[in-house]
């Protein structure tokens, strides 16, 4: 008899959430590279291209995507540092690993908001 798991009812530990978010942020960064490279190329072609890139950047949907890319970068960086420290034996105990996972999960959105506040 098949067993159907309801993934929305499973409670993941904080380290698992951090690990999954690290993978998701890496995929988002990878997928955003062509768009970011296109915008850079467009902005460097001519003053008209720069204005066209600015109009793309001022679109509210694009701004939302840019916020997601900024969060992805910050989360991926902090989580990557956390994993590198664990690889060298720092913060390996359960309590330290949970604390560092919470720190990454709380600092990434906070730093994203700080970047948005600084830019806007």
What ranges do the domains of the chain cover?
17-119
Topology given in CATH for the domain delimited by 17-119: 3 helical TM bundles of succinate and fumarate reductases (1.20.1300)
> What average pLDDT score do residues 90-119 get?
94
Nearest to 112 by CA among 66, 80, 61, 81: 66
Long-range contacts, stretch 108-115, CB < 8 angstroms, 24+ apart: 108/71, 108/74, 108/75, 108/78, 108/79, 109/71, 111/74, 111/78, 112/67, 112/70, 112/71, 112/74, 115/70, 115/74
38: left (phi over 0), alpha (psi -120 to 50) or beta: alpha
pLDDT at 2 over 80: no
Q: Identify the pLDDT of residue 13.
A: 93
> What average pLDDT score do residues 42-56 get?
95
Residue 113 near residue 70 (C-beta atoms within 8 A): no
pLDDT at 104 over 90: yes
CB atoms within 10 A of CB 36: 12
> What average pLDDT score do residues 5-29 get?
92
SS3 assignment, position 69 = helix
Q: Identify the pLDDT of residue 62.
A: 92
Q: Both tokens of residue 10?
A: 């499973």
């Amino acid at each position: 008899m098949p067993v159907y798991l309801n993934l929305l009812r499973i409670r993941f530990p904080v380290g698992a959430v951090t690990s999954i978010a690290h993978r998701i942020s890496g995929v988002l960064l990878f997928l955003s590279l062509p768009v970011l490279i296109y915008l850079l190329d467009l902005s460097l072609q001519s003053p008209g291209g720069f204005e066209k890139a600015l109009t793309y950047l001022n679109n509210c949907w694009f701004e939302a995507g840019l916020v997601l890319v900024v969060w992805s970068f910050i989360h991926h960086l902090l989580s990557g540092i956390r994993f590198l420290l664990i690889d060298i034996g720092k913060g390996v105990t359960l309590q330290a690993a949970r604390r560092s996972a919470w720190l990454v999960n709380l600092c990434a959105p906070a730093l994203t908001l700080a970047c948005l506040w600084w830019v806007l």
